[in-house]
Structure 1
Amino acid sequence: MVMDRNNRSHKPKGTPDGGQYETKNAAGASDDVAPPSGADPSARIIGSHEPLAKDDVEYIRTASGPDIIGLMAARRPKVDACLASNPNLTEDDVDRLVFRQKSNSARADTVSGACMRPVMSDAFRARCVGWMRDPTPGIRHAAIDAVGSNPHAAPGLVRESLRADPHVRQAARVAANPAADDSTLALAVNIYPRDSSVFAGKVLRHPHCGPDALHAIDERTTDPWIRERVWSHPRMDMMTLADWKKHVSYDRYEAAFGAARSPKLDFALASQLAAENNPDIDRRLAANPRTPSELLGSFAGRGDRQTDLNLAGNPSLPLASLKVLRDRYPDDPDMQAMLSGNPALTDRRQ
């Protein structure tokens, strides 16, 4: 760049535009300046009117110290909605965020964030219950949906969300929430339509599925596979298992099938089931390591191949019976494979 005596630049001689003055473009020059790499995220969020990015939302939900003060001062409804779930914000500050919203939709979003807080005092849980009963539909449903899906919520609060909205959609939401307890799951099952095998399967896999939910499923399903899973569930109470005969009929033996597979099987229950002389019950008893060894040994001489296959993989089968099976099926690759994987035989070889 060549400067003349008036301190104006012009293009050098010998170029196509030689001698012409340079055009000043301050706006263009600023395009080449990159923002500082260590820019404060809170300052950028506060000063922006663009939609929040995923990283922004995560930052707002975990910010602490002076950053929280700055974010609260921004008075952006979308920021307030994310900030309400931040555990570093006091519950009184959350109340301020909710009540300063000027529209019902903004208040509903902030209530939703507040109901997703990972830690709540008893007083704040009571506020959540109040929001779930709010006369404004948007606020009420925002609170119900958030509480029903909050994995950190108290079990009683999750149950209250289902009572506030006893419909299929909320029942499905609550059943997927790990914070739901056994009684809440039973309530969800009773709300959901009968014979919903997919939903029943989800409840059976829930970490808190217990006797209440299991009894509810058993009463509301006719699916044989689901009923057998109910009766073989490790949390089915022993009193109900001992009463299995009251839950079977001439063509419905799922309660007996499940009881025969139960990890709570004891000698008395196994003996009752074996006394039925039902091949399907015997096959399940043959596969259950909890079946007494003397009963397992008696099955080995009956000649039913499926029963023998189940026995071959049962580590509780007496060694003598295992040898009987090995000699009875010398050319059966499936039987020999089951026997070779039985710990009772492999331990002896070692």
Structure 2
Amino acid sequence: IEYKHGTRKVITPSGKYTIERPIGDSSSFGFLFSSKFGKKRVLIKQQSFDECAYCEAGLRELSVLVYLSDPQMAHPNIIRLLNAWMIHDNLYLVIPQMECSLHQYANGAPVPTEERMIILTQLISALRYLHVCGIIHRDLRAENVVMNRDCSNVCLIDFGSSRMVTPHRQTLGKYVSTFSCRAPECDTGHFSKASDVWSFGCLLYELITAKSLFEDEDTSLSPDDVHAIIDSLEGTATDHEIFLLQRILEWNPEHRITSDHMYELHYRYIVRNKPPKCDLPRISFRKIPPERRFAQITYKYNDMVQMRKNMKDLIDSFKSRKYSLFTTVKAGGVSRHSL
């Protein structure tokens, strides 16, 4: 079925999909459309193959979403892939449509403490899980977090810039993160899980102050300046948030807190203080066996023909699974590998 919206043309595999309107803030590598699948509200992302970079981003995102949509690997705070198809040099990804992005939710104002803690809890859990799976997001920012307005469900989205890391391969090439959330080491072409942690700290700072730590590329801050800014949050942020930020926004990535340690500290805080609606269940982690590890790094990203074949194989693999596309993913209840 073909739908036309202005200059954009969307093709769906069946009449069960209804394309309603394009979403204004489309992602870096694609166009978003508010849609319906029967009575369910969904978001369809259209990814063009016009350029090798777009094809690469599509393959990277698809590989992460297919991997994390496996019932054994799913996480409630990472967006779940509902369907995917390729038609006429376009990749289409279907994901649940949430009520707003975190950027829209904040609306240029500081997020209240109670709501901030609920959001923080879910994002820490999601980031830790990504890193355990060997995935770096590389573009953590408010626009790449979607949620319900009551904060009951917060999810990470947009994995077009993601990379896989291993204990022996922690830093790779050029970093593409938005400047306001970019870690200092990325200016030298290095990034790692620690770079995601820094971006998370910048995001938390924005939720507290409604300001970016680094407004633009001309902003010059030293490590001492950053720690002075964090100390100035006393009375605005909770002691726990200041404690985390002091360890997250550490200039040297080797001294920066890990997502795993951040999770442990936050878990202890929740157990001790019991903030409202903050559920961070204590789930034991079993090592992911080799056959289930994320293997994005094996793709050849300079060969568009091969990348399209990889995408087709991923889609076929995804569609061969037997589970309901709209099954709710519950923390600790879906995957023996969940965190």
TM-score tier after normalising by the smaller chain length: under 0.3
Using CA pairs under 8 Å that are at least 6 residues apart, name the structure with larger relative contact order, 1 or 2: 2
Instruction: Tell me which structure has the larger Cα radius of gyration.
Output: 1
Decide which structure has greater strand share: 2
Decide which structure has greater helix share: 1
